[in-house]
Each structure stands twice: as C-alpha cells, then as structure tokens.
C-alpha cells in the first residue's frame, strides 16, 4: 500500500493533532507502535475496498487527507492503544479526536471488524454491537442499545445507508441492506433482505441486487 505520508510523518502528524487538542504533556511510549499497527490494519482493511478513491494509478493508496480513510485509521489506533498496549489515556484521546475531526463516535473498546468502510463519517454512532466483516456504514447511522441495554448482532455484508439505525436485540443476517432513514428495533432480519421504513411500517423484501460488490472486491470466496 502506498501512503500520502511516510509512517514517520504520519506519526508526527497525528501526534501534532493530539498535542494541540490535549496539551497535557503526557508521554505515550508506545505511540509509534500504535501508529504502525493501525496502519497495518488499514492496509488489510482497504485491500478489500472497491471504491476508486482508495486507489491511485491502480495501487492501493492511503490518503490522510481523505476524512473517511483517516477516520478508520484513527479508530484502529484507538482500539489498538487500548486493547494491545493498555494505554487508556491515549485510546481516549484518539477516540475524542475522531469525534472532534470526523464526528465519528465509536468507543475505543468497541470492536469493529477487520474489513469495513465508512461512507461520510459525519454523525455516525456505533455502539457495542457484534459486528462482522464487509460492513458498510454511511453518514448519520446509529447502532445502539435498547432500554434493556441489549445490542444488535450483525452478520457479514451488512449495509447501512444514510440516517438508518439498528437498535436493541436485532439480529441482522448476512447480505442485508438497511435503506435510507430506516429504523430497525428489536427485529430479526433474514439473509438477503432489503429493509424500508420503521416500527409497524417496517417493510422487509428480498433484495434482488448484490450490493456489496459495489463497495468491496475479492469477496467471491467469502460468500
């Protein structure tokens, strides 16, 4: 994978952002290792993405000035800082930075999959659901708990279009597309569904399209 910044410059870039936002003078000794591990996760994740702006001259390309790509990188860094290096302070700063820069709310201890794509990060809230690979999340989507603090389970190839929500003990089977503005609350969705509406007006149809092929490549053996 090619990158708009070398790993050394990317580390300095991210550190400058953190120092500006959080001028506490704290030293995080594993910071460079966190950046390297996050970039490795990005390389694997983006290798499955089928969108043209993830490539430059046909080669996978990480652009730190592409806010969707940078959102994923900062999320991975926050999760790695917490999960691998046990640096909760750094993880918290990275989580907060992602909220400030990209309006992306996903706690560092929430486990997003190894393969997912963000389509406009603004207003996305991802709670502690069970996520699976080949996830697509668009702007102003929400995944969260119900009043009993039950979270959804989402299988592979879940696509959430803008302003859609999956809440509560919902079970989303593989290859499900949640259409714009739809609200799924404590509902089980069968494989291959296309979902419209909300509540008693929720409409579940058989999806005639293979929508995941638009977002991802190299998945023929995964289905």
Give per-residue pLDDT as tens, 152-177. 999 999 999 999 999 999 999 999 99
Domain ranges of the chain: 2-104, 123-209
Task: Write out the E strands in 11-134.
Answer: 55-56, 59-62, 104-105, 116-119, 124-126
Give the pLDDT score at 200: 82
Q: If we measure between CA atoms, which residue out of 20, 215, 40 comes closest to residue 117?
A: 215
Give the pLDDT score at 131: 98
Give the pLDDT score at 218: 80
Buried b (16+ CB within 10 A) or exposed e, 60-99: bbbbeeebbbbbbbbbbbbbbbbeebebeebbbbbbebbe
Residues near 131 by Cβ (< 8 Å), separated by ≥ 6? 111, 112, 113, 116, 154
Give the pLDDT score at 220: 60
Residues near 91 by Cβ (< 8 Å), separated by ≥ 6? 78, 79, 81, 82, 108, 109
Per-residue pLDDT of the chain (223 residues; tens, 9 = 90+): 999 999 999 999 999 999 999 999 999 999 999 999 999 999 999 999 999 999 999 999 999 999 999 999 999 999 999 999 999 999 999 999 999 999 999 999 999 999 999 999 999 999 999 999 999 999 999 999 999 999 999 999 999 999 999 999 999 999 999 999 999 999 999 999 999 999 889 999 999 888 999 999 987 655 4
In this structure, the chain runs to a length of: 223
Burial class (CB in 10 A: 0-12, 13-18, 19+), 156: buried
Distance CA 136, CA 156 (A): 10
Give the pLDDT score at 199: 83
| Phi/psi of residue 129, nearest 5 degrees | -80, 180
Question: Which CATH superfamily includes the segment(s) 123-209?
Answer: Hexapeptide repeat proteins (2.160.10.10)
């Amino acid at each position: 994978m090619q990158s708009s910044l070398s790993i050394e410059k990317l580390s300095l870039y991210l550190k400058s952002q953190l120092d500006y936002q959080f001028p506490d003078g704290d030293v995080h000794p594993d910071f460079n290792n966190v950046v390297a591990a996050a970039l490795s996760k990005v390389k694997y994740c983006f290798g499955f993405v089928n969108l043209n702006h993830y490539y430059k001259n046909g080669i996978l390309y990480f652009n730190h000035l592409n806010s969707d790509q940078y959102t994923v990188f900062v999320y991975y860094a926050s999760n790695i800082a917490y999960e691998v290096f046990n640096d909760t302070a750094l993880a918290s700063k990275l989580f907060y930075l992602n909220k400030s820069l990209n309006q992306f709310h996903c706690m560092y201890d929430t486990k997003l999959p190894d393969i997912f794509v963000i389509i406009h990060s603004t207003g996305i809230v991802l709670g502690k659901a069970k996520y699976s690979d080949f996830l697509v999340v668009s702007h102003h989507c929400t995944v969260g708990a119900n009043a009993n603090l039950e979270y959804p389970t989402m299988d592979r190839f879940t696509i959430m279009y803008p302003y859609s929500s999956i809440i509560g003990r919902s079970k989303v089977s593989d290859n499900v597309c949640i259409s714009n503005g739809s609200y799924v609350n404590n509902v089980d969705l069968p494989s291959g569904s296309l979902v419209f509406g909300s509540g008693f007006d929720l409409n579940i149809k058989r999806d005639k399209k293979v929508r995941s092929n638009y977002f991802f490549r190299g998945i023929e053996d995964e289905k």
